[in-house]
Structure 1
Amino acid sequence: MNIVILLGSPNRQGSSRMLAESFRQGAEEAGHTVEMIDVAHGNIHPCTGCIHCGYEGPCSQEDDMETIRGKILVADMMIFVTPLYYYGMSAQLKILVDRFCAFNSSIQRKHMKSALLTVAWNSDDWTFDALEAHYKTLVRYLNLEDTGMVLGYGCGTPSMTKRSSYPQKAYALGKQLS
């Protein structure tokens, strides 16, 4: 399976990347091809709502999105990776998701698999409720098959995350993919 990891953390050495790398290791050991795209540091502009794309065509903006679009459309699975920012995904990942409007139908027709990897400082039982709801809505709307979520409660720093069970859970999620 061809997997694309959409890394939405502005922290290049943070907890989100730690989960992404753990997932990648497990998936590659299981025989899958994995490409990580650092969308937080890519040249991706917000959607302007101009509808130049006609909801299934090229975007009028000149940035990295056409390259990323190509990588997503040859993938069999998308992994959404984000730190929890004010109970939602990072703005960097949300900008990318908003740009899906130029190829929604193409994504929907693929019936891709997906997963969510996320971390938060907070460890209240409701910490991820809003992000989970958003992710599940994306799964439903884009006709994705959810293969799981790793919700890293109490992972405010990389050292906290490293001492937690969440990197192992991300690894196991990648390793069990068929």
Structure 2
Amino acid sequence: MKITVITGSPHKQGTSALLADKFIQGANEAGHEILRFDAAFEEVKPCLACDYCASHDGQCVRKDVMNTWYKKLIESDMIVFVTPLYYYGMSSQIKAVIDRFHANNEKLAGNKKSMLLATSYGADDWTMEALEKNYEAILRFMNWNDAGKLFATGCPVREVIEQTNFPNQAYVLGKSLQ
């Protein structure tokens, strides 16, 4: 299976980066082809809603890295979103990528699997509710199938998440993919 992992953290060694690393390790060991798109370290401009893409076969008027990623995303069987929780939603870095799906909604929609891995400082039982609802709305709109979610709450820094079972859970999610 071709899997694109889109990360949204500006911290290369942060909590969500650890989940991404472990998920990728497991998925690689299971024999999957993995592409990693670290959105925070790429130039991804926000969508202008100009609809240039509608008359240019999905090419965006913005000249940035997204024009090179569209084909890879379309060819992927699974999209995995990995983000820290910022004010009860995904980071703006990963949200910019998702907003840019607009250029190729029809080509991206349907027959894909998706996962969400997220980390948060907060540990309240409602901490991930808004993020989860947003993710579910994206799946519904894109007609994708949820293949799993991992919410690592109460993990403000790498040293804390390393002491939990969350990294192993991310590894198992990747390793168990069929």
Same fold (TM over 0.5): yes
Q: State the 4+ residue runs in structure 1 displaced beyond 2 angstroms.
A: none
Cα displacement string for residues 17-72 of structure 1 (whole angstroms, at most 9, x for unaligned residues)? 10001000111111111111111111110001111111852111100011111211
Distance 1:7 1:161 in 2: 17
Q: Find out whether 1:33 has 2:33 as its counterpart.
A: yes
Shift of 1:143: 1.0
Q: Provide the alpha-carbon RMSD of the alignment.
A: 1.0
Give the TM-score normalised by structure 2: 0.97
Cα displacement string for residues 134-166 of structure 1 (whole angstroms, at most 9, x for unaligned residues)? 001111111111110010011100011111111
Shift of 1:74: 1.4
Q: Which runs of 5+ in 2 are unaligned?
A: none
What letter is aligned with 1:159? E
1:151 alignment partner in structure 2: 151
Distance 2:68 2:14 in 1: 25
Distance 2:146 2:38 in 1: 21
Q: Is the partner of 1:53 in helix, strand or coil?
A: helix
2:130 alignment partner in structure 1: 130
1:44 alignment partner in structure 2: 44
Shift of 1:170: 0.6
1:107 alignment partner in structure 2: 108
Distance 1:13 1:166 in 2: 15
Shift of 1:113: 0.7
Q: Which runs of 5+ in 1 are unaligned?
A: none
Distance 1:149 1:170 in 2: 9
**Matched residues, percent identical?**
42
Q: Find out whether 1:177 has 2:177 as its counterpart.
A: yes
Distance 2:155 2:36 in 1: 21
Q: Is the partner of 1:160 in helix, strand or coil?
A: helix
Q: Find out whether 1:22 has 2:39 as its counterpart.
A: no
- The number of equivalent residue pairs is 177
Distance 1:10 1:16 in 2: 10
Could you tell which deviates more after superposition, 52-61 or 97-106? 52-61
What letter is aligned with 1:67? T
